Amino acid sequence: MSSLFNNFSTRSPCGGKWDTTPSPNRQNIRQDWGEVVQARVKNDVRIKAPQTMIFRQIKLGTMENFCYVLGDEDSREAAIVDPHGEIDRLEGIIKRDGLTVKYIINTHTHWDHVAGNDELRGRTGAEVVTHRLGRIPRSLSVEHGDVLSVGSLTIEVLHTPGHSPDGICLLVNGKLLTGDTLFVGECGRTDLPGGNAEQLHNSLFEVICRLDDDIEVYPGHDYGTTPFSTLGHEKRHNYTLEPRTREEFVRFMSEP
Ligand SMILES: [Fe+2]
């Protein structure tokens, strides 16, 4: 995993530089309100991965949203990603697993991904984490290359704007949580406020597609033929990942 960031492009769509510092030793997460810190039940899939990880994909609400539970099996510390709603049900799963929620992480701050933040924060005391450009109250801001620790788990942050300026993907234990940047068989739309097809092209082709094919893809919505996939499968079968220049992709995204 440590070598993944070494493959990133050094150019952003606007000509700036991505930070290509290898991430595992970098824990420069900023705390907005304080000092710097070091930093499926129905439709519920449980996957017990190596490194004693508890991983749950939970479909919540009426918009096909996926929420994720990332937990360290030994310490029982956990992060909840994109708590859309149904907090009673989510809390039941958290309690059943005996987890203490350290972080609530939003892949971006569109309302359907943050709607459950306040209630879950009130019940768990967890810190809310978004990208620096997120437009909601939070405890921690993260940027590309930052790492969040949850027990023995390391969650690596990839900034993937395009669907929204504050979009991030989370890489943990060979699993990539892609929010609304990449779906199974689709990609995120860019016609909402803050959307940018040039940035999405960079995020898809220069960040995500440079990761290994065997990495598993867990999207923010259940829009595909399957709830999750692999990057290799998406590179071969997702029509939005067919090779296109930036200009071709912008034109493609503007087509009805
Ligand atoms: Fe979204």
| CATH number where 173 lies | 3.60.15.10
Query: In angstroms, what is the span from residue 195 Cα to ligand 1's centroid?
Result: 10
Query: In angstroms, what is the span from residue 11 Cα to ligand 1's centroid?
Result: 25
Please identify which residue in the block is written with the tokens 């030793």: 25
- Asked, for residue 34, whether it belongs to a domain, the answer is no
- Asked, for residue 113, whether it belongs to a domain, the answer is yes
- Asked, for residue 136, whether it belongs to a domain, the answer is yes
φ/ψ of 160, rounded to 5, equals -130, 70
More confident residue, 117 or 25: 117
Element counts in the chain: helices (H) and strands (E): 6, 16
Query: In angstroms, what is the span from residue 161 Cα to ligand 1's centroid?
Result: 11
Residue ranges of the alpha helices (H) in the chain?
87-96, 111-114, 117-124, 197-201, 231-237, 246-254
- Asked, for residue 133, whether it belongs to a domain, the answer is yes
Please identify which residue in the block is written with the tokens 């940018």: 196
- Compute the average pLDDT of residues 7-13: 30
CA 9 – CA 4 distance, rounded (Å): 11
More confident residue, 50 or 243: 243
Q: What pTM, to 2 d.p., does this model score?
A: 0.82
User: Percentage of the chain with pLDDT > 70?
Assistant: 80
- Asked, for residue 21, whether it belongs to a domain, the answer is no
Query: In angstroms, what is the span from residue 189 Cα to ligand 1's centroid?
Result: 8
Query: In angstroms, what is the span from residue 220 Cα to ligand 1's centroid?
Result: 8
Q: The dihedral of CA 27, 30, 31, 37: what is its sign?
A: positive
Give residues whose Cβ lies within 5 Å of ion ligand 1: 110, 180
- Asked, for residue 72, whether it belongs to a domain, the answer is yes
Please identify which residue in the block is written with the tokens 């440590």: 2
- Asked, for residue 236, whether it belongs to a domain, the answer is yes
More confident residue, 8 or 193: 193
Pairing state between β 186-187 and 182-183: antiparallel
- In 3D space, the residue among 49, 41, 87, 92 whose CA is nearest the CA of residue 70 turns out to be 49
Question: Taking all residues of the chain, what is their mean pLDDT, rounded to a whole number?
Answer: 84
CA 83 – CA 106 distance, rounded (Å): 8
pLDDT in tens, 82-104: 999 899 999 999 999 999 999 99
pLDDT at position 44 over 60:
no
| Domain of 239, in residue numbers | 39-254
φ/ψ of 143, rounded to 5, equals -135, 175
Query: In angstroms, what is the span from residue 180 Cα to ligand 1's centroid?
Result: 5
Query: In angstroms, what is the span from residue 108 Cα to ligand 1's centroid?
Result: 7
Specify the amino acid at residue 205. F
CB 93 within 8 A of CB 44: yes
- Asked, for residue 185, whether it belongs to a domain, the answer is yes
pLDDT at 5: 35
Query: In angstroms, what is the span from residue 57 Cα to ligand 1's centroid?
Result: 18
Strand partners, 49: 53
- What is the tally of structural domains in the chain? 1
Query: In angstroms, what is the span from residue 160 Cα to ligand 1's centroid?
Result: 12
Query: In angstroms, what is the span from residue 102 Cα to ligand 1's centroid?
Result: 24
